[in-house]
Amino acid sequence: MSLKPAGESTRPLHAALAVVLQVREDVLSVLLWRRALPPDEGAWALPGGRLSPGETLAESIRRHLEMKVDVRELAHLEQLETLSEPRRNPHTWELATAYLGLVPSDADPDIPDDTRWQPVDELPPTAFDHGAIVLAGRDRLRGKLSYTTIGFALAPETFTLAELRDIYAAALGHDVSATNLKRVLLRRGALAATGERRISGSAGGRPAQVFRYRSRRLEITDPFAALRPPT
């Protein structure tokens, strides 16, 4: 099937896609489904689909996500980027607007049989440009972990600092000092102690302090901060 030249009056189709990320067993993972039909039959794709008449992009992606994952489990959803390369879909002229969605580490959404959580850093063969979109979502998350409270969307309601450190390390792709993380997040006013303590791990030891995020919404706390890999 040939594409319509850009100069013709025919308008492109428009799809909404979602990069849904979750830290699962200390690995940053993305929700993908396996295509059963051509084009790219057998490849893994992002959940999403085309807009319906009278539908906004936000309404469209939430509708499509309801077909793949319980959207009530999404702690955060934001627009990521719009892809406009005319031949990104070799069979038709199609724009795509991608969203970044985050799921807390303790959630276990119901997903259909054709859908899997795949490690972001070890992606299987993906359809179209979806692999690049996944990496763009990963990079957006990593950037925002440095200067916002977006970690709330990956963390459970309450956690120890060791548990939060493991979530940050999985998302960032490098080790994170629990001491430094505590200092940074407390200085920003992002965390609050619950007054509880929890025994961490099989080794026992002194019960660890339990924290929560003060707010379960995105806030910019330090626009010039960066959580970089250790040197």
159 lies in which domain range?
A: 148-213
CATH number, domain of 83, equals 3.90.79.10
pLDDT score at 6: 44
Q: Of 140, 142, 120, whose CA–CA distance to 131 is shortest? A: 120
For the cut 90, the answer to whether the pLDDT of residue 226 exceeds it is no
Same domain for 88 and 173, yes or no, is: no
Angle (nearest 5°) at CA 112 between 111 and 113: 125
For the cut 60, the answer to whether the pLDDT of residue 163 exceeds it is yes
pLDDT score at 202: 57
Q: Is 52 within the bounds of a domain?
A: yes
Same domain for 73 and 132, yes or no, is: yes
**Choice among 27-31, 166-170, 221-225 with the minimum mean pLDDT:** 221-225
Distance between CA atoms of residues 100 and 154, nearest Å: 12
pLDDT score at 227: 59
Same domain for 105 and 56, yes or no, is: yes
Cis peptide before 156 (omega within 30 of 0): no
Same domain for 20 and 108, yes or no, is: yes
Please say which residue of 129, 145, 161 terminates a domain.
145
| Six token digits for residue 80 | 């990521």
For the cut 80, the answer to whether the pLDDT of residue 201 exceeds it is no
Q: Is 221 within the bounds of a domain?
A: no
- Looking at the 3D structure of the chain, how many domains does it have? 2
| Six token digits for residue 230 | 């250790």
